[in-house]
Amino acid sequence: MKRFSVLVSIMAASAIVLATAKAPASQVVHEPSQLNLTIPLMAERREPDRPAPRPAPRPIDPVTGYPIVNGDTWMTEPDVPWSTLVVVQSAQGDSAVAVLDRFYEEGFAADFRNPGIASQWQRDRLEVYGYGLWQTCYFAVVCDVEHPIYPVTGALLKVGDRVFPLRGKQTYFAISNEVAWALKTAPPQQVWLQVAIAGGSNYATRPIGAATIAAWASLYQDAEPPGVAALPEANLGPMARLPAHLPDHLPVIEETRWRTQSDVLCSQPVIVHDDFNGDYLAVLDRAYSLDGWSGTSTGILTNWSADAVAIHLYETTSQSYTAWAVNQIVLELGEQTFVLTGINNRFAISDELARALASPPATAPRISYGQINGDISTRSIGAATVSVWPLIYAPAEE
């Protein structure tokens, strides 16, 4: 039975890789200084599917009376006190009161394409990671479980009907007074966190546990209601992004699933259900190549909407799955060429580009992007997908 580990790399493109290579254990890299830095597996833990030994008593902070948690390894420790007040101490001697939360799907349905979220909430900042799961089972009796940790490069927080774009980068995000007040007064079962992982290589949307929400009342007890004159940080509910006139009975797909759903509908108009930014009209296109000898499949999945084109780049083999991010793509539309720059694998559609997409050329449009190895790949957009563009990009009727 082969055993796999997960590596996270940020190269010319950011990437999430499941591979046979073995990574150094328990190494944490919080903030890479350059894009070609390799981020190894931050922690590797095996949890046999049998009763775990009783954990050793955790030290207690003498001032607060809260359990002490290691600030460098909390995200992968097996017996961390979740959803309660703790004191987080770093190797440098810094300490802060925090609440830890984690959510991921268990069982064989959970894998590296469907990560969870591990989050540490302090009074003035959020530290958050994508939380993976990989299982190796022996005769379905004993399973080894590994939990890789992925860096987060963007975060949205939804509290009730309000959506907060969190300010920050590379796993650390600020908690403003307005956000702190929203967390202090958050209703149970109504808080969600959405994160972009490793430059938008993948995304995860997960609920925050009710016990964590209850603990926030103490953690953010000094938060005050925002002043009347304060500029709102949050969007009040999902925006209306659907056109006024749509074809009847369009299929609906989920924003949280389209990147890694193998049977997602392509080359036809769909409504994408998005709890954070509002539902929108889109058409998806998949272009890929298959190496019959090695079984390696490499491709791009594009999501074309009125505001942006979002992409998912991937490579699969019988033993691995790799997704990566780029910050630039090139579109060729007949004699016109558009160079798009974006973040987290999302690229804004300008008015000029929208006009070109609304009247596509007779020749097949092409998209170019960087591969994980640095090579440039160019693929055609399917004719059926192109035929839907006028519906999405036609000017709105006055």
Identify the band that residue 183 occupies on the pLDDT scale cut at 50, 70 and 90: very high
Span 138-168, pLDDT tens digits: 665 666 777 788 899 999 999 998 999 999 9
Looking at residue 111, what is its pLDDT? Answer: 53
- CA separation for the pair 102, 81 (Å, rounded): 11
Identify the band that residue 318 occupies on the pLDDT scale cut at 50, 70 and 90: confident
- CA separation for the pair 332, 255 (Å, rounded): 27
Arithmetic mean of pLDDT, 63-89 = 92
Position with higher pLDDT, 27 vs 270 = 270
Residue 313: closest CA among 165, 142, 199: 199
Looking at residue 140, what is its pLDDT? Answer: 59
Q: Cβ distance 86 to 97 under 8 Å?
A: yes
Write out the DSSP string of 74-94: TTT-TT--TTSEEEEE-TTS-
Whether residue 200 is predicted with pLDDT greater than 60 in this model: the reply is yes
Handedness of CA 166, 350, 306, 263 (dihedral sign): negative
Token pair 């699933």 is at which residue? 257
> What's the half-sphere exposure (Cβ side, CA atoms, 13 Å) at 90?
7
Arithmetic mean of pLDDT, 83-108 = 87
CA of 224: how far to CAs of 178, 188, 216, 221, in Å?
8, 20, 14, 8
What tokens were used for 59?
A: 């030290």
